[in-house]
Structure 1
Amino acid sequence: MGLVAEFEITCEALPLVEVATATPAATMEVDIQFNHGNRPPFIVHVTRDPADAVEDAFDTSSFVAEYTLIGRAGSTSRYQILPAVGFEAQLGEHIADLSGLRALATTDAIIERICVTPTGWIQRGWFADRDAFAEFSEFWQQNAGFTLRRLTRDGDPEAPGDGLTDPQREALRTAYEMGHYEIPQSASLDDVAAELGITASSLSERLRRAQTRLIETTVGTTWPPLPE
């Protein structure tokens, strides 16, 4: 039976970590287009207001050859990034086992979520079996830092809130503790946003994404299908 894992890889040489370091208030999630050769494009979803600081960080990043703004929705901007170097060139001075890095490309696994942080990547992936997960985790334990956050069998129900980003958890917790969800409400959206140091529009989108995820992992998976 397959496994679903969420884990943190601590390695400051990973792509775009320098961008996350320069913009610590941003939430940055990445999709990698692996079927595009040795330098696969990155699709980067950035939640931050304003976006200028992130683009400034792209301009100075040694990893980014060029970037294109694909579109904006609220405070989320979507970019396509063309790398200046491949993974091996990016990590070669920091990881001794480059053959092991190449072998990861053939692991029976699908990484479905990558969140870039100032210290590395937080990933969520599906692994065909325990051997496939062991190959992946042992490589990063030996070559960087690896922290397992959650490991379940596929088909097991997810814990409520699984998959929330750290900024989403912080936004929900702060809004709850300040009384934003009380009736009557004792803290407005502006009050919570000021406490977090972000705009009200950024907070609104962050809360909506977090609430959607909570619904997906609670009532969304237990209700019967809606009639057609």
Structure 2
Amino acid sequence: MTVQEPVETPITEIELEVRDRNCFFVRLSAETDCLIRLEELIHRADGDLLQYFSVRETPPEDVLDMAASESAIAEARLVRNGPDGNLFQFVVSGPCVTATLADTGAITRDVSAAGGVGRVVATVPAHVAVRTVVETFRTRHPDSEFLAKRERDQSPPVRTKSGVHTILADRLTEKQYEVLRTAYLSGYFAWPRESAAQECADALGIAQPTFSQHLRAAQSKVFTALFDAAVDDT
């Protein structure tokens, strides 16, 4: 009996260029001449978006000053300084490119900007029309251009970078993953600690005990996967 290998269905990837100064990340790159890139995107239960952006070549205070005047950004704070740039945490409650893509059913893969020109890459599920995604995007962000459409092999989600990460992500619930990732990005595990449990919970829009409960469960699953694998390899 011949066993057929599962056939991987290609996914559609689209790329857009954005010059719309109403987009905060585009305007920031234009006015401060910085390099900005989305590192993580989390959809909160209240409908707001939790975004982590790395920003290079501009003082942190300039970023925070501009964020304070941005109506779409409910909260902004500097998480950490680093040699490769500064990491900022934004709670976004208004229109933005990632919200536009989510509304159409597309999945954000990459967002970056330099010199007032933004680049957005997204994947479009088979049941969603690419034309609808592009037309909606260009309607909401007028100064934008559709650059490319390409077919890609199925691959792990953007949040995973190796098979090990994929396995761990599969073991965690979505909320456990979000809590663990937020804690990591916010410097909760750093020494000295860069963010308290309450600050991480506030960023996610949940209660601190709920954050701690999900974090403890996520850590238990990660350690179990790590050390069970180590025992199996001996």
The alignment's TM-score, normalised by the length of structure 1, stands at 0.51
SS at match of 2:49: coil
CA offset at residue 81 of structure 1?
A: 1.4
* Structure 2 unaligned spans of 5+: 1-9, 155-232
Percent identity between matched residues is 15
In structure 1, the residue matched to 2:62 is 53
Deviation at 1:137, TM superposition (A): 0.6
Tell me the distance in 1 between the aligned counterparts of 2:86 and 2:99: 31
SS at match of 1:129: coil
Aligned partner of 2:47 in structure 1 is 38
Deviation sequence 1:47-73 (CA, Å, 0-9, x none): 125433323323443333332222222
More relative contact order in 1 or in 2 (CA 8 Å, sep 6+)? 1
Residue equivalent to 2:130: 133
Contact 2:110–2:122 (Cα < 8 Å) also in 1: yes
Which of residues 79, 82, 86 in structure 2 aligns to 1:77? Answer: 86
1:117 and 1:10 mapped to 2: Cα distance?
10
In the alignment, residue 34 of structure 1 is paired with which amino acid? H
Does 1:28 pair with 2:36?
Answer: yes
Q: How far is the alpha carbon of 1:131 from its aligned partner?
A: 4.9
> Alpha carbon RMSD of aligned pairs, Å?
3.3
Query: Using a 3 Å threshold, how does the CA distance of structure 1 residues 13 and 80 change in structure 2: closer, same or farther?
Result: same
Inter-partner Cα distance in structure 2 for 1:48 and 1:8: 22
Gaps of 5+ in 1: 92-100, 157-227
- State whether residues 112 and 119 of structure 2, in contact with CA within 8 Å, keep that contact through their aligned partners in structure 1: yes
Inter-CA distance 63–18: structure 2 relative to 1 (3 Å threshold): farther
Q: Is the 8 A contact 1:48 1:75 kept in 2?
A: no
Aligned partners of 1:22 and 1:57 also within 8 Å: no
> Partner residue of 2:180?
none
**8 Å Cα contact 1:23-1:57 kept in structure 2:** no
Task: Measure, in 1, the Cα distance between the counterparts of 2:51 and 2:112.
Answer: 12
1:53–1:106 CA distance, 2 compared to 1 (3 A): closer
SS of 2:129's equivalent? Answer: helix
| Mapped pair 1:124 → 2:133 | no
Matched, 1:86 2:94: yes
Cα distance, 1:103 vs. partner? 8.1
Match of residue 72, structure 2, among 48, 54, 63: 63
| TM-score computed with the length of structure 2 as normaliser | 0.50
In the alignment, structure 1 residue 146 sits paired with structure 2 residue 144: yes
Equivalences, count: 144
Q: What letter matches 2:106 in structure 1?
A: A
Q: Is the 8 A contact 2:73 2:94 kept in 1?
A: no
